[in-house]
């Protein structure tokens, strides 16, 4: 029998409020169950916080980060301590948690990208930029520098190319 104080269960499952109070008398499976219970509660709490965040973007982002953290911890524990679990139940759950964590990471990345795009569009439209001074605005009739500036010049589809004009 592996106990929480020795062997594989003693490493990653300590430090989460599971030490002390006669823990060394518990099996690794019992310690794993307590850890998974705590992480599942954290996941559900962050899911509730996300639903209740409403229009507060900062709270929603924080709730998503907490949800992703809990999902990764549950998935990691299921993977690490696979021998202690019912693999018919744990393996599909682990795969779903991996998918969820990846999806939440993408959403976080997309939110960052959207904020950068909004800032760039505000600067282009002459509105206040990220720092509120509007210095990045392009004047009317001005040109926009960038890597795509010359795109389409070699395609023969420009206004002076004659494409579509009596061809």
User: What are the tokens at 101?
Assistant: 């964590």
Kindly state the percentage of the chain with pLDDT values over 70. Answer: 62
What local confidence, expressed as pLDDT, does residue 57 receive? Answer: 80
Tell whether the model's pLDDT for residue 58 goes beyond 90.
no
Q: Residue 151 carries which DSSP code?
A: T
pLDDT tens readout for residues 107-140:
888 888 999 999 999 999 986 554 545 455 555 5
> Is there a contact between 13 and 31 (Cβ–Cβ < 8 Å)?
yes
CB-CB contact of 4 with 18 (8 Å): yes
Q: For residue 164, what pLDDT band results from cuts at 50, 70 and 90?
A: very low
**For residue 159, pLDDT beyond 80:** no
The set of residues, in sequence order, having a beta carbon less than 8 Å from that of 116 and lying 6+ positions away, is: none
Residue-wise DSSP of 16-84: SS-SSTTGGGSBHHHHHHHHHHHHHHHHHHHHHHHHHTTT-HHHHHHHHHHHHHHHHHHHHHHHHTGGG
pLDDT (average), residues 148-154: 47
Structural tokens at position 33: 């169950």
d(CA 110, CA 89): 32
Determine the Cα–Cα distance for residues 163 and 157; give it in Å rounded to an integer.
6
Task: Determine the pLDDT at residue 141.
Answer: 56
């Amino acid at each position: 029998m592996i106990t929480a104080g020795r062997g594989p269960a003693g490493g990653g499952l300590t430090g989460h409020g599971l030490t002390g109070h006669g823990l060394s008398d518990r099996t690794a499976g019992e310690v794993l169950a307590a850890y998974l219970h705590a992480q599942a509660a954290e996941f559900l709490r962050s899911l509730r916080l996300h639903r209740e965040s409403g229009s507060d973007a900062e709270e929603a982002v924080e709730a998503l980060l907490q949800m992703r953290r809990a999902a990764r911890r549950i998935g990691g524990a299921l993977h690490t301590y696979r021998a202690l679990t019912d693999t018919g139940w744990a393996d599909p759950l682990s795969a779903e948690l991996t998918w969820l964590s990846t999806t939440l990471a993408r959403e976080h990345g997309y939110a960052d990208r959207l904020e950068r795009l909004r800032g760039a569009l505000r600067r282009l439209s002459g509105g206040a930029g990220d720092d509120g001074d509007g210095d990045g605005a392009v004047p009317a009739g001005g040109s926009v520098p960038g890597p795509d500036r010359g795109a389409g010049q070699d395609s023969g589809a420009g206004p002076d190319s004659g494409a579509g004009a009596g061809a």
